Amino acid sequence: MQRFEQSFLSEMRSRHAEVIADIRTSKALSDDTTAKLKSILTDFVKTFA
């Protein structure tokens, strides 16, 4: 689990920094942000080995 978490956080920071910024700014998960996170996570899981 630790490897997955580290890899996912690295992916988020390098390729999806705007999503992190949105969460930090709003301090909430909007429907749009939630949808983006689900999509990012789904794609990431497919490539994680």
- Round to whole Å and give the CA distance between 4 and 36: 19
Q: Where are the domains of the chain?
A: 2-47
Span 10-41, pLDDT tens digits = 999 999 999 999 999 999 999 999 999 999 99
Q: State pTM to two decimals.
A: 0.85
- Round to whole Å and give the CA distance between 26 and 29: 8
pLDDT of residue 49: 76
pLDDT of residue 45: 96
Look-up of token digits 């580290």: 6
